Structure 1
Amino acid sequence: MRAYHISAPTLRPTITDIPRPIPARGEVAVRIAACGLNFADLLMIEGKYQDTPQAPFTLGMEVSGVVEALGPDTDGPAPGTRVAVFGGQGGLAEYGCFPLNRVVEMPDAMSFEAAAAFQIAYGTSHVALAHRAQMQPGETLLVLGAAGGVGLTAVEIGKLMGATVIACARGTDKLEAARTAGADHLIDAKTQDIRTIVKSLGGADVVYDPVGGEQWQAAFRACNPEARLLPIGFASGEVPQIPANHLLVKNISVLGVYWGGYLKFRPEVVTGSLTTLMGWYAQGRLKPHVSHVLPLARVAEGLELLRTRQSTGKVVITL
């Protein structure tokens, strides 16, 4: 089968032929239809992601497809069932074998492209806002990188949870995507001062930040007392340093969010969140935004869209 594969630690990934996997006990074999790209894929290529597998491995963290077979003594979805899976790796291939406890049946109305774009982006934002920040209706949420794969979902979920949402992104087109997702106020990070505008709007109670760098610093200085800051990632390439004395003075909390980490020590947080999110999707309350759908042959182009921040929402690769 074809796969976007890293064959050795010092080599770049290539599309190559590798053996089709056979499901072991507790695993489900899936014929993959689509795979969502994530900034973490770029970090894995550089060996900088916190959960980078040892080479050789196939890239691709979240997929959708159809169950082909179950491993020995494994009771799971019947062959032919449409499923979404967060595997952490192995998704940019024609077939994959994944642990049964990571397989979720898709709503009937959900497309494969939407399902491949759904789990990490919506899961990260829901766990961050509902579980970690425990955001309440009426609070003000500042979303940095608001037109990116996770940023748009934070805008959308923030509105569903009753927050006033301030969306920060770079350029008119990206801000329009955030407005369509439900943002109440817009800030152009290219031309406007984040701190000044957020303060003029009453300050931020919750900050959702997949960017880091200078934008984190500006948001930090625009926080209200008892605000909660959520570092989601560092797309700017700069991990911000946090002045603990400022946390103390304003009673601010910084709450790290690594969605995939919950699968290791509290998987019920992830499964409960996905149950809620799939229910919202089935009710028509969530609308995944996929800006690019590309074939496997163009996966490098899709990753470059993420690297250069040219995409809005998610980039999905079809198999």
Structure 2
Amino acid sequence: MKAIVCKTFGLPDKLEFGDLPDPKIGSNQVLIAVEACGVNFPDVLIIQDKYQFKPELPFSPGGEVAGKIIGFGDQVNQFQLGQPVLALCGWGGFAEKVAVDSDRVFPMPPGLSSEIAATTLYTYGTSYHALKDRANLQQGETLLVLGAAGGVGLAAVELGKVIGAKVIAAASSNEKLQLCLEKGADEIINYETEDLKNRIKEITGGKGVDVVYDPVGGKFTEPALRGIAWKGRYLIVGFANGDIPQIPMNLPLLKGCSIIGVFWGQFSKLEAKASFQNIRQLVAWILEGKIKQHIGKKYTLEEAPEALKAILDRKMLGKGVVVI
């Protein structure tokens, strides 16, 4: 089968378009003919051997797919051949076929296209878990989203509005901030040209924000933490900036705030029932038109390394998708 192949760990330019053997199906797995695969920041990390999950070489990146079932193991009885599904495969999605554990496969809801289905679980799943399960964001509270025009950031902006919060979107360019306004952000901050902490104070009248959603890290974490309200919740989602920040631990003490880790991949495994309930709610909101994925660009399978480079260079607006 055709695939994007990682033979040696490194940056996207080391990936090759070529052939891999068809996946072998385990007794509790399904084989999916991939129609679309979402492009996510963990894909950039996994090809550099910097992610929590470490596949053996050679492998294909791509952890979020949609397609049709073309085979399954002898212990799988809840799916049918030809059934449209979406799945969390971890890696292997930038390929024509992928084998996935059956408990990581979900029936495709009617009315959902493959491209939308393949770009929903990681971003909206992560952001909804963060805001609902970890921060317990409430109607009327103020949410600050860093990296707000990226995949998970834009999802957090939308979900914050659905929950009923006031949303402040922070990003690095006016183009990105305009997209955030279109998605419902109440206020915007260009943190490359404005003082992040001071702007937070100005917008909130000195109170600070109740929740910070941070998938960026680096130099923006400390000023955002300094702009948090008393008893605020700071969500550590990722480090797209590339630098893991060193936080002065007197700040949580003085603010009476909580610093909360968000690892949706592990949550979806260890708390599968709660995760599935979240996914059902997200799909309902999508079908109702309350949230809508912004696909920044579509790529062919051969162009998939370009999609990963766009994420690495922080040039991806919303979500990218590889269409097989």
Band of TM-score, shorter chain = over 0.9
The 5 Å alignment of 1:1-319 reads 1-8=1-8, 12-202=14-204, 203-319=208-324
Quote the Cα distance in structure 1 between the aligned partners of 2:99 and 2:286.
26
CA distances 1:215-269 after superposition (whole Å, capped 9, x unpaired)? 1111111000101001111111111112222211211100000100113322223
Structure 2 SS opposite 1:255 = strand
Quote the Cα distance in structure 2 between the aligned partners of 1:310 and 1:9.
22
CA distances 1:84-103 after superposition (whole Å, capped 9, x unpaired)? 11111110100111011111
CA contact (8 A) 2:89 2:100 kept: yes
Residue 22 of structure 1: CA displacement?
Answer: 3.4
Quote the Cα distance in structure 1 between the aligned partners of 2:269 and 2:107.
21
CA contact (8 A) 1:5 1:58 kept: yes
Q: TM-score, normalised by structure 2?
A: 0.95
Runs of 4+ in 1 over 6 A off after TM superposition: none
Quote the Cα distance in structure 1 between the aligned partners of 2:78 and 2:106.
10
Q: Percent identity?
A: 40
CA distances 1:1-33 after superposition (whole Å, capped 9, x unpaired)? 011122355894312211112322111111000
Of stretches 5-14 and 123-132 in structure 1, the one that deviates more from structure 2 is 5-14
Quote the Cα distance in structure 1 between the aligned partners of 2:23 and 2:139.
47
Structure 2 SS opposite 1:79 = coil
Structure 2 SS opposite 1:89 = coil
CA distances 1:44-82 after superposition (whole Å, capped 9, x unpaired)? 111111112222322111001111122113112212221
CA contact (8 A) 1:9 1:54 kept: no
Quote the Cα distance in structure 2 between the aligned partners of 1:27 and 1:178.
39
Quote the Cα distance in structure 2 between the aligned partners of 1:254 and 1:269.
22
Length, aligned pairs only: 319
Of stretches 190-199 and 129-138 in structure 1, the one that deviates more from structure 2 is 190-199
